[in-house]
Amino acid sequence: MRVAVVGAGLAGIAAARELVASGHEVVVFEKSRGLGGRLASRRADGGAVLDHGSPVIAAPAGSALRALIEATPAEDRVDLPDGVAYAAGATRLPKILAAGLDVRFGVRLAALRAAGAGLELGDEQGNTHGVAGAVVVTAPAPQAADLLARSPEPPERVAALRALAYAPAVMVLAGVALAPGAVIGPVAGGPLASVRRETAKGRADADGVAPLVARLDAAASARLLDASDEEALALALPALAAVLGPGAPAPAWAQVKRWRYAVPEGRLDEEAVNPPGSRVIIAGDTVTGARFGGDDHHRVFDSGVRAARRVASIPTAEAVR
């Protein structure tokens, strides 16, 4: 059967791998230009790599994700107390795990139209991408709701997805000329929730400038989500200077990155949101939940595997080849 997966984050990649392993023809649609979703990294001017999404990958011992990480060795992997990181950036693991998958980048699926026993896949430009017998949706719940609202799915299912709110995150990426062993002080009170020095992930300072990633706390992120970069930096940089302590130089550069849907405020019941036999299957942190500083990535990954297994229970499965 041809199966579409919406989203090339951890859940989508897990679902696609499992579906391919069970013999399905799988196409992953990803609206952005890269793999990983909220596992995201970027290279700043000067070459420093910064993870501006989740700071580490939480894959505790005993989890399927951990076993997979260990079975796919990467010499730049760094084990930190709260998870796994890669010197090349957080997208390194998704790139390893998605090897060989058919991923169509830059395609935002926007409609699933009934077509015989399957669903015709429509994108936001009005193009169609064939018919699939099942669609695994791993987008954050509000985006999943937008897609299901333009599908034959019942309105109750869309409403359930819409009811799940997400906390935003405004991230400030900065390069500061810190001494190699300089200790970053604790973050006490708002507006910053955390500050990390990315060189702890096996990455070198770029020209003596340490790459730092700071996350604004929930209140400041909500306030500044739609504000200008200047407004976000005006709040964040003095707070960063206070954390770095007296004498720390001003940042050589700073950038802002925003996540409208960073972590869900709760989760939906996986069984309730995935009625038996439905051709549209919801996976990802919509059904697992996730928290800043949490150890949820392995659960997100497992949800993708379970979604793939639900495809086997779809009665129309044989009709769309």
Nearest to 165 by CA among 69, 47, 286: 286
**Distance from C-alpha of 280 to C-alpha of 161, rounded to nearest angstrom:** 13
Q: How far is the CB of 162 from ligand FAD (least distance, A)?
A: 14
Q: Is the dihedral of CA 106, 109, 110, 111 positive or negative?
A: positive
Report the distance separating Cα 7 and Cα 30, nearest Å: 5
Nearer to ligand FAD, 112 or 210 (CB): 112
Q: How far apart are CA 116 and CA 226, in angstroms?
A: 42
Nearer to ligand FAD, 92 or 297 (CB): 297
Q: How far is the CB of 246 from ligand FAD (least distance, A)?
A: 28
Q: Tell me phi and psi for residue 32, to 5 degrees.
A: -90, -175
Which residue's CB comes closest to ligand FAD?
37
Nearest distance in Å: CB 139, ligand FAD: 3
219 bridge partner residues: none
Query: Which CB, 287 or 320, lies closer to ligand FAD?
Result: 287
Which stretches of the chain bind ligand FAD, using CB under 6 A? Answer: 6-12, 29-32, 37-39, 53-54, 58, 108-109, 138-140, 143, 147, 169, 171, 215, 259, 262-263, 284-285, 290, 292-297, 300
CB within 8 Å of 271: residues ≥ 6 apart: none
Whether residue 224 contacts residue 237, with contact meaning beta carbons closer than 8 Å, is answered with no
Smaller CB separation from ligand FAD, 118 or 122 = 122
Nearest approach, Cβ of residue 3 and ligand FAD (Å): 14
Nearest distance from C-beta of residue 315 to ligand FAD, angstroms: 25
In the complex with ligand FAD, the residue whose CB is nearer, 199 or 303, is 303
